[in-house]
Amino acid sequence: MTIEVYSKHIIRIQKPTISYALEIENLVRNSPPLDLNSTYHYFIQSHYFNETCAIAINEIDQVVGFVSGFQDPKKSDTLFIWQVAISKDARGSGLASKLIHFILQEHPHMQFIETTITKDNASSISLFNKISRELNTNIIEEPFLDKSKHFLNQHDSENLFRIGPFKILKENP
């Protein structure tokens, strides 16, 4: 499924393919405070995990948004969102939320979203609170990975956010 989003520009939302992996990496590189993964990682996500990822492409075929995720192997009703990256020009347009909803439309059996966020990442916290409101459900935050215990003081602590339960009604094409 591909959808078009109209704002100032036409934005196409679709599943990523490996042909976009380098652009995805560049987008993440230019989206602090996101952790940049290896180039290989973005190729793997765009190929093996593309069913639970989404990209936004502008009129000149540039990637302006990316959401990576995967179905939790232990909880088949849970979508874990790994990264959300939106280009500077596309921020504030609701594109991140549209990308997440695109993935959920492809997987109407999902009833929960999980993600981890550092306490100082206000934009991500705001996004997932918005998603919770849009899905008319709860959001729970709890400690997950500790700065000193897990990251040896090389990365800030990550809290786990769990949104749900919710019910996705599949839209007709």
pLDDT at 115: 98
The enclosing H or E element of 47 equals helix 39-48
pLDDT at 3: 61
The angle subtended at Cα 16 by Cα 24 and Cα 125, nearest 5°, is: 65
Of 163, 65, 161, give the one whose Cα is nearest residue 118.
161
What value does the mean pLDDT take over residues 120-141? Answer: 96
Q: Which one is predicted more confidently, 66 or 170?
A: 66
Strands (E), 18-151: 54-57, 63-71, 78-86, 112-117, 139-145
User: What 3-state class would DSSP assign to 12?
Assistant: strand
Average pLDDT, the chain: 92
pLDDT at 22: 97
Residue percentage of the chain with pLDDT more than 70 = 94
Token pair recorded at residue 49: 């995990």
What value does the mean pLDDT take over residues 156-165? Answer: 93
| Alpha carbons 98 and 92: distance in angstroms, whole number | 12
Q: Which phi and psi (to 5°) does residue 112 adopt?
A: -140, 150
CATH class of 3-163: alpha beta
What value does the mean pLDDT take over residues 70-85? Answer: 96
pLDDT at 142: 96
Q: Is the per-residue pLDDT at 134 higher than 70?
A: yes
pLDDT at 32: 87
pLDDT at 136: 96
pLDDT at 152: 78
- The pLDDT confidence band at residue 7, using thresholds 50, 70 and 90, is low
